Structure 1
């Protein structure tokens, strides 16, 4: 299993796509920190880009890589190697390479220009999102043999979590504004890993006052170590559950 992970990881890290992705993140991060006199404002600007770009690149790259590696996977399956190990090795190789690219591209500039908890939360959230959306990418790929359909499913998932979900939540909160929605609001937040990452970083830079009553609610719940641990625990679940489902389908799938 370790040999497969090393092979996949080394192969991906040499690809132009990942090198370009790393360079883009690094130049963008470096530029934002140099343009903003206040490092905190730069982190907020960087957060908005990270929450949009990282999930998109992770889910698209993961899906395309899986389909392009079909022949390699079939070769491995023909060998006396457990299918679960093959699938998890492919996943870890892709997820680790994207996470490493993010750490170099965003984590290094963030820790140089703004060392502290805010940057740590930003980098940790970005790493989790890399693993989560790679997990969703592999699930999309296993659901169908058709590459176009698989990429379509992946794009729909990204569109839902990045754009559509927030609109649905706002509609629910507006439509049922006369009812107590404290627990429902927290529950809805847990259903979107991107929102979890966003709230953790925003609360750490103390802009909850700008978020009104909802910000105060998030602050009271996620403003302590228990809430932070729960948030990262939920993001861990978002990583494990899709890849577990995808793995079960892959094991039973007729290649």
Structure 2
């Protein structure tokens, strides 16, 4: 499986889209750090972009790479290689290459700016969240692609999943809070947040920057849980589950996939 991961990694690294993805975050980080003297403000601006753009890119790249490499997959299936090694190896190759582009694109400007002088923890949580979102949505994209042979359906469902997580879920969540505001929704809000990795990632960054007061009562509720060490560990554990569970389904579908 290591050879498959390596091949897919370098195959995607050679793609011009990887350089575009890397260059976008590189130039964006330089611009934000140049315009803002405070790295915390730059982190907030990057958070708003990363929590929306990173899942979208991961979803598109995951679906696109799978459909474009079907002939290569069929060739590998004719060899004495485990199916799970082929599909999970491809997934890891795509996810690692995208995560590396993100980390380098954000890391180089911050290191040159001198992030180690004060905002190291904020910067690290930003990189961690971005990497988690990449692995999560590439895994979801691979599950969708493995389920649907038709490319149009695959792309459509993948974009729908991203739209659901990034936009629709927040709207439904907000409407629910308004409609049931007379009831105690503290625990329900925490549980609902765990069902959306984008919201969970956004809250982790906001609380790490200690600006939860801007969120009002909801921020106080989140601060009381996510602001503690137990809350941070639980949040990271939930993000790990968001990675592991889709990988498990990739493994199951790989065993049953008929070419």
The TM-score normalised by the length of structure 2 is 0.96
Q: Aligned runs of 1:92-241 on 2, under 5 Å?
A: 92-113=92-113, 114-115=115-116, 116-241=120-245
Once superposed, which parts of structure 1, at least 4 consecutive aligned residues long, lie more than 3 Å away? 110-115
Question: Are the counterparts in 2 of residues 66 and 138 from structure 1 also a CA contact under 8 Å?
Answer: yes
Return the alpha-carbon distance in structure 1 between the equivalents of residues 241 and 8 of structure 2.
Answer: 24
- Cα RMSD, aligned residues only: 1.0
Structure 1 portions without partners, runs of 5+: none
Match of 1:64 in 2: 64
Partner of residue 86, structure 2? 86
CA distance in 2, matches of 1:214, 1:165: 17
1:18 aligns to what? 18
The answer for the alignment partner of 2:37 in structure 1 is 37
- Alignment partner, residue 8 of structure 1: 8
5+ residue gaps, structure 2, are none
CA distance in 2 between counterparts of 1:95 and 1:242 reads 13
CA distance in 2, matches of 1:74, 1:18: 25
**TM-score, normalised with respect to structure 1:** 0.98
Alignment check: 8 A CA contact 1:111 1:119 kept: no
Alpha-carbon distance in 1 for matches of 2:248, 2:151: 21
Moved more, 201-210 or 238-247: 238-247
**CA distance in 2: counterparts of 1:227 and 1:157, whole angstroms:** 27
Number of aligned residues: 255
Listed one character per residue, the Cα deviations across residues 47-80 of structure 1 (whole Å, up to 9, x for unaligned) are 1011111110010011000000100011101111
Distance 2:111 2:155 in 1: 34
Give CA-to-partner distance per residue, 1:13-72, whole Å, 9 cap, x none: 110011110011110111111111222111111110111111100100110000001000
Contact 1:91 1:134 in 2 (8 A): yes
CA distance in structure 2 between the partners assigned to 1:119 and 1:88 by the alignment: 29
